[in-house]
Structure 1
Amino acid sequence: MSICALAPILTYAAIDQQEALEASDRHVKVSRIVTTLFEHSHYRRAKIGNELSSKILDGYLRALDGNRLYFLADDVNGFDKYRFTFDEGVRSGRVEPVFDIFDLYRQRVIERMEFALATLSQEHNFTVDETYYFDREDLPWPDSVSAANEIWRKRVKNDLLGLVMADKTVEEAREVLVKRYNRVIKRTTELNSNEVFETFMNAYADTLDPHSHYFSPRNAKEYDIQMSLEYFGIGASLQMEDEYVTIIEIITGGPASVTGTLEPNDRITGVGQGDSGEIEDVVGWRLDDVVDKIRGPNNTVVRLQILKAGAAPGSAEVIVPFTRGKVTLEAKAAKKEIIEVPRGEQIVKLGVITVPGFYQNFQARINGDKDYTSVTRDVRRLIGELQAENIQGLIMDLRGNGGGQLNEAIDLSGLFIDHGPVVQLREYNGRTRVHKDHDRGVAWDGPLTVLVNRFSASASEIFAAAIQDYGRGVVIGQQTYGKGTVQNVYPLDRQRRAPEQQYGRLNLTMGKYYRVNGGSTQHRGVIPDIELPSLIPLSEVGESTRESALPWDQIETTKYQEVASLYMPDLEYLRSEHLKRQQTDPDLQYLERSIKLSTGVRERKSVSLNLEQRKQEREALDQDRLANENARRAANNMALLESTEELADQDDLDEILEETAEIMADIVTVSSIAAKAKTGNAPQLIEE
């Protein structure tokens, strides 16, 4: 199949004369202030030198052109003259090279987009066997203009092919891409010196750790809006990566966290208003323009077109509807349910408390409101309600819980341990503080499990680690995120001498969390006692995937007393029972097959530009998904599906929670036998 589009292409008009951007007096002062804070107050206490200078340059190039689509190899080699001068430059405020590099980047973007627009007018043969490498992060920079042209010829061809496969006509696809490429030009040429400086400062911060961040005055205000809970959106943090607006973080309590349909590294390619409004292509848009499209009146619908994390450009996209809403404490609130698990002729009744975040109405608390909302108070109440229903075991579900208030993690731990230390905090100056639960007594002393996944982070890890270290319960699931650092906010305006100038804000990593056993939660996270399979790839999500992440280390153990409990059976027995089910349970086998399918898609770095081959690959993947679902259905004596279209209508399974309940039932059963053993009435466990 050939596609020919020979009509003239319109290009963005204002590209002939681009004024060189320059550093302002404010940039000079901010650079000096931030460098001083990095050297004296960051946890690394990193001195600026040649090694860090080199990393800053590489990080800045990555921030501008991470997929190596614009700069040429000679351009990058030419930047080596700056490689060992950024150290003194940022310290003294001489940041002119930042803008010199950007000016060339802007020129290269315009050149590539003009080439892409011209290429749209040419004939494209989709019967030729060609391959497009969409993931170029580890590939060499193009060594010539002709090499760059060849990369972009294939890029344009892939963009066209993807839209045609999404049921657009050739002319419709061409119109979408003309607008898209012109938007990239417009967005790049409209970047001002403040935005470029912010990009550089965050590349600088990222060389020290992933969580230190500089906010320009404008973005500091935007951040405050998000954190004030007074805006209506989907509850997700976004940033630009290449020409895509990308999901960085799901905000607990927002619409996105409630639906569970988005995950970090998903890319937003289109936005539609209402239940049926046309999806508007937003690839190449400015971030703030996309945010404006997503936000809107409370309780109205916005639909996002999503290119899933790891998928190639041109892959099948999904449309996800959201009802706009405020990120509220109510949406974050802990919830309970009861699961009943058969064990022979008996039914084991289990309580599940889902904790989306470690929330607290801090303002109400400091105002003296005795009934202020907090996760600990809610969980204590839910435990009481579950006890009234005679549960035999409790599952604390912290999957997807990205953290929250430190004191809530401590207080929540105190519902399950009598009293004692919960977490240690070591600051950049070497001082270590031990945070303790001072309340004697517990809300639940029965069998306990904590369910976590890769998105369980920060305060979630503190809680799970405390339960594990005290031997109070069994941690089940997936290795957690590994976010064990602490940030302080530094309003840089306190440093200004000219009231009319605004310097912005710096979030600075100044400490690390350590478990009571001395090990850090940083980088390594919490390793579950019993690991379960997961669709979340450890190689793509988590602190260990970030090059500049602070390492795991260990300090002295603080004094604590492990809990002597009948409810901590032999872990090897629990693991062996889990493995038996994993080999026979249809839902767990379905999950294992789903992981293999997902991994195959994520590991691809290239796609075919042959239309028929792409169709065959998509059809094969759809058929694999259908066969996987029908294998599960057949094993469960359910009606089989006839087409892939029916897959979208299926309710999501929660195989992980189901298996956690099975493990919890094992614990309850063994604990019951152990308790009866004290009276001499215990039956014998028979190993199969």
Structure 2
Amino acid sequence: MFKRLKLNTLLLFIPLTSLVFCFNTPKNDDEKMSTIMVSVKNTLSYLHYSPKPINDAFSQEVYNHYFEMVDSSKRYFMQSDMEEFAKHKTKLDDYLNQGDLTFYKLTIDRLYQRVDEINKVTQDILSKPINLEEDETFILEPKIKNNPGSAKEMRDEWRKYIKYNILQEMESLTAKEEIQKEKKDSVQKFKLKDTIKLEILSQDEKRVKATAEVKDLVTDTFRRFKKRNKMDWFTVYMNSYTEVFDPHTNYYSPKNKEDFDTQFKGKVIGIGAIIQEKKGNLYLGALTIGAPAWKSKELTEGDKILKVRSKPNEETVNVVGMLSDEAVRLIRGEKGTKVTLTVEKKDKSVKDVTMIREEVAIEDTFARSIIVNSPKGKKYGLISLPSFNADFEDAKGRNASDDIKNELIKLKAQNVEGVILDLRNNGGGSLTEVGDIMGLFMNAGAYVQVKSGDGKINTLRNKTNTPLWTGPLVIMQNELSASASEILAGAMQDYGRGLTIGSPQSFGKGTVQTFVDLNRFLNTNDDFGSLKLTIQKFYRVSGESTQRKGIESDIKMNDFFTYIEVGERYDDYALAWDKIPAVSYTPVNYFSLKALEAETKGRLETNKNYQLIQESAQWKENLDKEETISLQQDKFNEVMKVRKAQIKKFKVLDKFNNGLKFTLNTDEVLREKTDEAFSKKTENWRKNLQRDLYLQEAVNVVASMK
């Protein structure tokens, strides 16, 4: 799962070589897809950092990758289908060169055919009692099984899959009962008001309830599948080609590109409401405080959305049965324009609510800080940076470096004695932000080398000599810290300006991407999407690439990701690691690593909670490696019983408290009083910080830095 993980990249917006691929305006979807294929192929061949030869060997890699994406579980296509498809295994290179849709249409038409057949089969299976006493085995690992060889094998595969889900759902119902019972026992023990009503179901009742739940799940899965149009599957098909070049080269349809831009900028123009999909209906989820939906005072969480009028002069669109992402696109629009939602309230009344679209910030992508109070009475600043966000289109838009600067100013006003910059799970973003952030912590200097496909090397430098924070600095990272995160951590490490603590190594994404609009090669106003392709590689000032190897932490602490395949090095198509000459740079060496390393090692060796985390992670790793499971109810329950015993052993970690106290900055204290959503998010953030053993050690380290 994690080896295919896509992380935010980016992105140097550099001028590209002028390419001219002349096409006539396509007349229909088939011509449009064909045109996209040829345009993607030409763009890859001319502009990719390390273009591959488009030949039979490439074709076979694309073929294998395509089926990993379309039917990784080997649950949809028959063995006879795969034998038929295999005749095209060495022809996919020709199809790409010619814009030939033969293979794509064959496989996707067959996929829709199989889905129709399987939908009928599963409904028939679910219409009859399923024998939970029959002793049979379900294969969890697709690599050790084949596609079904007959209609009977296909039915058996889906019957077992359904049975497995029913047993899991029954186990979930039992777990909920146990949790409720524990709560009731606790209430009675402390003689509190008991309002908890226990609902204890018999095994038969659980089976009936679980079967109904699984039926809804399966039915909705196929409903959603049929709602996907063939252009959505075409995006998957194109990415089977592009990702064989490297995992970060991808084709983006217009709507996929819109989603990427929204996440990258950290803002969206809309009404500020989450749209949730339940059993074919759309509902309003949480409303963002201060956004149009919240300000209307007419909408509440749980309202069913019936219709959307995207513009005053347009027809109202019925959204019942629509996929949530389609409805979201109707609701989004230009800032200052009107949108009308027709909703059914919980009392079944129906009303129209008209709102003016506004810019709604996605605050979870922005930096924020908090003051950490250690048990010894010292104060430190923690800055969480989820993304190196930047808005290249709006000069007044938010970006990561300005946000961190503002947080540092707040922390300095509180006289903190050290700063911890948390880059865990930060998949990257704008490379230019790295230099600006570096300038907040140290004087001018090179921070990254960027090498193009033609061998040309460009060194990027921070030119600021007025750092805002010159005190102790610790950078936290994990296996999901990637791209720009690795450039910043690597630069701070090479200069000795900051100490990196966390997983043995970061993700290892050392490549640079840019977007190329395919429309630039076409005489049309239609949007043909974009190609995000790798054009350069990152190198540290020391000359080492961050590709595959990532950044090795100064102080290593294993976490849950350490024991599973996370990172670029696990991807079959990732570019190789290499090295170039170092640039001239002068380390500042703010601290003695050996002494700090020895102190941490001593603490971790006697830290029972840290040792328990390692045991838990290794146990979960072994679970992931299990290839089969019994579907006989008693045997299945016995497996679950053993697992629950292990989970109970590790449950003590949920109650771990690192002893740190957290104080909000003054502006956020005031905001908590008026912004309910912000207050809830902050409360959850604090709770998570108090359970964070890795933060506890980061505080220990920053406290020891001179």
Helix, strand or coil for the counterpart of 2:268?
coil
Deviation at 1:330, TM superposition (A): 8.2
Query: Partners of 1:161 and 1:462 in 2: how far apart?
Result: 46
The residue number in structure 1 matching 2:16 is: none
Q: Does the CA contact (< 8 Å) of 1:232 and 1:327 recur in 2?
A: no
Helix, strand or coil for the counterpart of 2:603?
helix
The residue number in structure 2 matching 1:438 is: 463
1:408 alignment partner AA: E
Query: Partners of 1:536 and 1:236 in 2: how far apart?
Result: 29
Q: Does 1:198 align with 2:223?
A: no
Of stretches 58-67 and 215-224 in structure 1, the one that deviates more from structure 2 is 215-224
Aligned residues: 563
Helix, strand or coil for the counterpart of 1:124?
coil
- Paired residue for 2:610, among 574, 584, 588? 588
Deviation at 1:663, TM superposition (A): 2.2
Q: Does 1:569 align with 2:592?
A: yes
The residue number in structure 2 matching 1:482 is: 508
Q: Does 1:43 align with 2:49?
A: yes
Q: Does the CA contact (< 8 Å) of 1:113 and 1:184 recur in 2?
A: no
**Residues 237/412 of structure 1: CA separation in 2 closer, same or farther (3 Å cut):** farther
Q: Does 1:472 align with 2:497?
A: yes
Of stretches 48-57 and 171-180 in structure 1, the one that deviates more from structure 2 is 171-180
The residue number in structure 2 matching 1:243 is: none
Q: Does the CA contact (< 8 Å) of 2:75 and 2:154 recur in 1?
A: yes
**Residues 378/60 of structure 1: CA separation in 2 closer, same or farther (3 Å cut):** closer
Task: Give a deviation string over 1:273-302, Cα, whole Å, max 9, x none.
Answer: 977899xxxxxxx9971446899899xxxx
Of stretches 506-515 and 109-118 in structure 1, the one that deviates more from structure 2 is 109-118
Deviation at 1:39, TM superposition (A): 0.9
Q: What aligned pairs does 1:53-72 form with structure 2 within 5 A after superposition?
A: 53-72=59-78
The residue number in structure 2 matching 1:33 is: 39
Q: Does 1:351 align with 2:381?
A: yes
Helix, strand or coil for the counterpart of 1:89?
helix
Of stretches 51-60 and 479-488 in structure 1, the one that deviates more from structure 2 is 479-488
Which has the higher relative contact order, 1 or 2, with Cα contacts under 8 A spaced 6 or more apart? 2
2:388 alignment partner AA: F
Q: Does the CA contact (< 8 Å) of 1:67 and 1:136 recur in 2?
A: yes
Q: Does the CA contact (< 8 Å) of 1:450 and 1:476 recur in 2?
A: yes
Q: Does 1:135 align with 2:135?
A: no
**Residues 233/170 of structure 1: CA separation in 2 closer, same or farther (3 Å cut):** farther
Helix, strand or coil for the counterpart of 1:582?
helix
Deviation at 1:36, TM superposition (A): 0.5
1:85 alignment partner AA: K
Q: What aligned pairs does 1:270-309 form with structure 2 within 5 A after superposition?
A: 289-291=323-325
Task: Give a deviation string over 1:81-140, Cα, whole Å, max 9, x none.
Answer: 211111121111122121112222333333333332222244423234332123314533
Of stretches 540-549 and 201-210 in structure 1, the one that deviates more from structure 2 is 540-549
**Residues 440/46 of structure 1: CA separation in 2 closer, same or farther (3 Å cut):** same
Deviation at 1:621, TM superposition (A): 3.3
Task: Give a deviation string over 1:207-266, Cα, whole Å, max 9, x none.
Answer: 11222221234444455555562256999999xxxxxxxxxxxxxxx99xxxxxxxxxxx
The residue number in structure 1 matching 2:349 is: none
The residue number in structure 2 matching 1:210 is: 247
Deviation at 1:492, TM superposition (A): 1.2
Q: Does 1:660 align with 2:698?
A: yes
**Residues 596/293 of structure 1: CA separation in 2 closer, same or farther (3 Å cut):** farther
Q: Does the CA contact (< 8 Å) of 1:587 and 1:632 recur in 2?
A: no
Q: What aligned pairs does 1:80-95 form with structure 2 within 5 A after superposition?
A: 80-95=86-101
Q: Does the CA contact (< 8 Å) of 1:353 and 1:379 recur in 2?
A: yes
The residue number in structure 2 matching 1:109 is: 115
Query: Partners of 2:405 and 2:518 in 1: how far apart?
Result: 41
The residue number in structure 1 matching 2:629 is: 607
Q: What aligned pairs does 1:121-520 form with structure 2 within 5 A after superposition?
A: 121-167=127-173, 169-189=206-226, 191-224=228-261, 229-230=267-268, 289-291=323-325, 326-328=360-362, 332-340=366-374, 342=376, 348-365=378-395, 373-478=398-503, 479-499=505-525, 501-520=526-545
Deviation at 1:490, TM superposition (A): 1.4
Helix, strand or coil for the counterpart of 2:113?
helix
2:506 alignment partner AA: T
Helix, strand or coil for the counterpart of 1:522?
coil
1:351 alignment partner AA: G
1:494 alignment partner AA: R
Q: Does the CA contact (< 8 Å) of 2:104 and 2:237 recur in 1?
A: yes
Task: Give a deviation string over 1:291-346, Cα, whole Å, max 9, x none.
Answer: 46899899xxxxxxxxxxxxxxxxxxxxxxxxxx944368613313133254xxxx
Q: Does the CA contact (< 8 Å) of 1:397 and 1:452 recur in 2?
A: yes
Helix, strand or coil for the counterpart of 1:230?
strand
Q: Does the CA contact (< 8 Å) of 1:329 and 1:361 recur in 2?
A: no
Q: Does the CA contact (< 8 Å) of 2:79 and 2:148 recur in 1?
A: yes
**Residues 223/400 of structure 1: CA separation in 2 closer, same or farther (3 Å cut):** closer
Q: Does the CA contact (< 8 Å) of 1:361 and 1:374 recur in 2?
A: yes
Q: Does the CA contact (< 8 Å) of 1:586 and 1:636 recur in 2?
A: no
The residue number in structure 1 matching 2:640 is: 618
The residue number in structure 2 matching 1:242 is: none
Deviation at 1:517, TM superposition (A): 1.0
2:605 alignment partner AA: Q
2:606 alignment partner AA: T
Pairwise CA RMSD: 3.9
After TM superposition, the score normalised by the length of structure 2 is 0.71
Helix, strand or coil for the counterpart of 1:132?
strand
**Residues 436/583 of structure 1: CA separation in 2 closer, same or farther (3 Å cut):** same
Helix, strand or coil for the counterpart of 2:374?
strand
Deviation at 1:37, TM superposition (A): 0.7
2:510 alignment partner AA: G
Q: Does the CA contact (< 8 Å) of 1:28 and 1:94 recur in 2?
A: yes
Q: Does the CA contact (< 8 Å) of 2:401 and 2:436 recur in 1?
A: yes
**Percent same amino acid among aligned pairs?**
27
Q: What aligned pairs does 1:639-658 form with structure 2 within 5 A after superposition?
A: 651-652=687-688, 653-658=691-696
Query: Partners of 1:377 and 1:327 in 2: how far apart?
Result: 15
1:598 alignment partner AA: K
After TM superposition, the score normalised by the length of structure 1 is 0.73
Helix, strand or coil for the counterpart of 1:24?
helix
Deviation at 1:26, TM superposition (A): 1.6
**Residues 415/233 of structure 1: CA separation in 2 closer, same or farther (3 Å cut):** same
Helix, strand or coil for the counterpart of 2:251?
strand
Helix, strand or coil for the counterpart of 1:575?
helix
Query: Partners of 1:560 and 1:227 in 2: how far apart?
Result: 31
**Residues 561/226 of structure 1: CA separation in 2 closer, same or farther (3 Å cut):** closer
Q: Does the CA contact (< 8 Å) of 1:334 and 1:356 recur in 2?
A: no
Query: Partners of 2:44 and 2:576 in 1: how far apart?
Result: 18
The residue number in structure 2 matching 1:10 is: none
Helix, strand or coil for the counterpart of 1:211?
coil
Deviation at 1:506, TM superposition (A): 1.5
The residue number in structure 2 matching 1:262 is: none
Task: Give a deviation string over 1:358-387, Cα, whole Å, max 9, x none.
Answer: 23454453xxx6xx7543344344444444
The residue number in structure 2 matching 1:555 is: 580
**Residues 217/601 of structure 1: CA separation in 2 closer, same or farther (3 Å cut):** same
Query: Partners of 2:658 and 2:401 in 1: how far apart?
Result: 39
Deviation at 1:419, TM superposition (A): 1.4
Q: Does 1:530 align with 2:555?
A: yes
Helix, strand or coil for the counterpart of 2:476?
strand
Q: Does 1:545 align with 2:583?
A: no
Q: Does the CA contact (< 8 Å) of 1:418 and 1:439 recur in 2?
A: yes
Query: Partners of 2:170 and 2:239 in 1: how far apart?
Result: 38
Query: Partners of 2:111 and 2:364 in 1: how far apart?
Result: 46
**Residues 362/153 of structure 1: CA separation in 2 closer, same or farther (3 Å cut):** closer
